[in-house]
Chain A
Amino acid sequence: MHELGIANSVLDAVRTEMSLHPGTYPCKVGVRIGEMAAIDQEALRFCFEAIILDTDLKALELGIEVCPRRHRCQACGREFVVHDYDSRCPQCASLDTTCISGDELELAYLEVEEYGSSTVGAKSPQ
């Protein structure tokens, strides 16, 4: 159960990034989580919502993109998604394949909105 620490790291990164964007507020932060990263999505979401509650960032949305485990075949170069731990190359059946992704724990993006613009469709004052 280290998702609370992960959620805090995400929030720290948001606050650091926001200092570079004066006059805006953050709406959504996107993270990429590999299926081999040992992170429980629901626990992360729960922790994230708990730590932003009653803060200035309480409306901040968390976007989670799950990244499958991908291998590249050393024999034929084919890249493929590994299902059910079967890392054999689907093209040439070689077992000599190496993992190229699937253990991500990365910050992907931050969506920011200018103060004064509305999220419900109204035009910002000219």
Chain B
Amino acid sequence: MDRVPLERKVLSENDRIAAELRARFQEHGILCLNLISSPGSGKTSLLERTLETLPRPNRVAVLTGDIQTENDANRLKRFGFPVKQITTGGTCHLDARMIERHLADWNLNDLDLLLIENVGNLVCPASYDLGEAAKIVVLSVTEGEDKPLKYPSIFFKSDLLVLNKIDLLPYVPFDITAAAENARKVHPGMEIVKVSCLTGNGLQEWMTWLAQRRSAHKPLVQETVS
């Protein structure tokens, strides 16, 4: 019996494509963000609010994933930005190959920001690198403040927690302080913004976070070029 060391990632093919995507995004100065949440937490609403608020012209595109239907793409297309639906046909997460395929006929020179809305699922999307600069997890106040402890992986891997539907706080037994504490237990120092996509409350904080990320991500001026 011989034991052969393998020592590589199980998803090495996905990771290889993701690394290629990340390099392309960097080359074109594109900030790519991967939004993840349970179904119904408000990813599409957050994107609607974001697209609605962004000053024109803005070089933004959206890829939105679902198991079936073009509903989300139709909701997002009305803001005039390029939007593509990725229907996975059953798969519970997006993978890097799907992103690569759906980017194929977009000119990356035309973009500064690529927003990816993952399939609604707090578990599986955590395992698949899409080449994004950051993952963002959305949690709504109707879901329970212990979600970060129950689904630690995605909170651990996300840079930002967007706590959505805060307009419902008076009507649900959701302890927002405990939710933030739980998120930071799993991910010390995690950034958190509290929003209501319905009333617009708190959205300025989210747009500020986005603007800061975008300016931090701008390609460095090539001083050596004369």
Contacts and interface: CB of A to CB of B under 8 A. Distances in A.
A112 interface: yes
Nearest to A95: B188
B2 A112 contact: yes
Contacts of B154: 38
A115 interface: no
Interface string A14-34: 000100010010010111000
B186 interface: yes
Interface residues of B, number: 31
A37 B6 contact: no
B5 A37 contact: no
A109 B6 contact: yes
B56 interface: no
Contacts of B124: 1-2, 38
A103 B188 contact: no
A29 B9 CA distance: 13
A122 B117 CA distance: 58
B223 interface: no
B153 A37 contact: yes
Contacts of B13: 9
A31 B5 CA distance: 11
B127 A85 contact: no
B188 A10 contact: no
Contacts of A9: 10-11, 13
B127 A38 contact: yes
B126 A17 contact: no
A29 B153 CA distance: 25
Nearest to B4: A110
A30 B8 CA distance: 11
Contacts of A13: 6, 8, 10, 12
A51 to B, nearest CB: 14
A66 interface: no
A39 B188 CA distance: 22
A79 B192 CA distance: 28
Interface string B36-66: 0000000000000000000000000000000
B145 to A, nearest CB: 14
B104 interface: no
B216 interface: no
Interface in B71-95: 91-93
Given A2-B124, A87-B188, A110 B6 contact: yes
Given A31-B10, A38-B153, A105-B11, 4 more contacts: A6-B127, A38-B151, A108-B6, A111-B3
Interface of A: 1-2, 5-6, 9-10, 13, 17, 21, 24, 27, 29-31, 36-39, 85-87, 95, 97, 99, 103, 105-113
Interface of B: 1-13, 91-93, 123-124, 126-128, 149, 151-154, 156-157, 185-186, 188
